[in-house]
Structure 1
Amino acid sequence: MRLSQILAMCSSISKQALMQLRQTTGYPMLACRQALSRCNGDVSEAKAWLDERAQAEGWAKAEKLIDRTARQGLLGIVQRVASPNCLSLLELRCETDFVARTARFQTLLSEACNSLADNFIASAPQGVTLVPQDRLLGLKLGGSSLADCVASLVGSVGENIICGRALVFNAQPDSLALYCHSPWQAEPDAHPLQQSETGSCQFGRYAAAVAYSGGSEQLAYQMCQHIVGRNPARLDSPQPNPDPESEDALLRQEFLLNETRLVGDVLQEAGMQVAGFFRLKCAEE
């Protein structure tokens, strides 16, 4: 676009409308100017035009970027006050952790994870239920599908973005503990945790959850930390592993916070029983 065209565009657009559109959408300033110019300064119409263009460009970019490796990203987890024994989890992958830190990436992940909870938690059987990709990508976020929203984000950031694993975990009738670990803090403009009736979304590179009865919430949380750190593959085994460092049964592992004791002994002393657990690492093959 020529300089004369840009100057003419700027003269017909109010600064207030431009800043509002920029802050609302996160699109580049020049794209916002162009949208407002095409839509006669109407912010709502300009936003719709930008979203439509980003989605179209995103699908085109997604086709080109589909073979690029996406080894960064985040897990999003929603556990609601109204159903504390259940959670929904979604893995959203990208190419760089710079994109994973941004507000737009985390906003999409939060909205998608809450939609996952809306649509699957109420009917989820006991235990872990994996959500098929076709049903996941068809989730509605506002008036658009999750697939379209991902394509729009691809068009905006220019990276391959993939919806990975999605699940719901129903611990009923047991209690549910959750730990979500991230190696870095979110950027200042990152999406805030949604403290509302729809539930807050936690972000992290690792997540673990435990279905338990008895004991205390603190110990259950520590068990989740242990599971993230030691990565057990099963709850128990008939015989202990001769090499304690290679032990993969949770109850027979040395407790991460006190390696002089076994997890099974710690739980027995506290009167806690673990019915099930899971652990995920983002972008883990």
Structure 2
Amino acid sequence: MRVEISQKFITLNDGMKIPTIGFGTWRVSDADAPKILDEAFGAGYRLIDTASMYGNEVGIGKAIKESSLSREEIFLTTKVWNSEHGYDATLRAMDKSLSNLKMSYVDLYLIHWPGVNSEKYIPTWKALIRLRKEGIARSIGVSNFTIDHVERLINETGVVPAINQLELHPYFQQKELRAFHDKHKIVTEAWSPLARGNLFDDEVIVALTKKHNKTPAQIVLRWHYENGIIAIPKSGNPTRMLENLDIFDFHFDKEDLAQMDTLDNVNGRTGANPLTADF
């Protein structure tokens, strides 16, 4: 018998609602996607995050089609890759993603990276605006964008992204960027929200696991939730899938949050830097 955990939602600046905990699919193959997503849906995940670069959109689409859930119950994100930047190229990229997914729309379409020394993300953003107007992408946003990148989008198009998805976890809290997001009503979404497990043995995390009788992953994901950050952890283990969702029956007090604040490290990044990543 499956145990499904109820989700909680955040309302985006365009009125769309998105689950607070999602399921990441980086390195999930087309072949494995149906089985893994069947477990994820059974656990209670409704936000599925993929990208054209992941090479698994066909499998993701198949998994959704074969699930017992209706399409409207699932919030699906995909992303346009760097080699697909530009107005016309982005429209073609969306056509390809929809063909792979066998769907008529996605819930959220993101620019995956801004690109180094590239200004193509501006016409790419204009293509996303068109896709939103046409209902092909119900919400649009960016990923791995800095304050300067987002400000330029807003200044040149007048359209504020609904989401900025970026590396974020207690070891790399991105407070300045999050404050900017709050000012512009942009939701922050975290990839690598568990810092690849690097902080599970940290004495602050360990102390909080004992205080709240929770696992390290649950402590970290609760920190994201308390800060209004969407997290998209990934796991192929059904037990851990459930564990990662089971964070809504406890809360942090001011002392807990203060302790978590001490973990922030300007050098805590585990992935690529948007200012230097030249994919």
- Answer whether TM exceeds 0.5 for this pair: no
Q: TM-score, length-normalised on structure 1? A: 0.26
Give the number of the structure whose residues are more often strand, by fraction.
1
Q: TM-score, length-normalised on structure 2? A: 0.26
Tell which structure's C-alpha radius of gyration is larger. Answer: 1
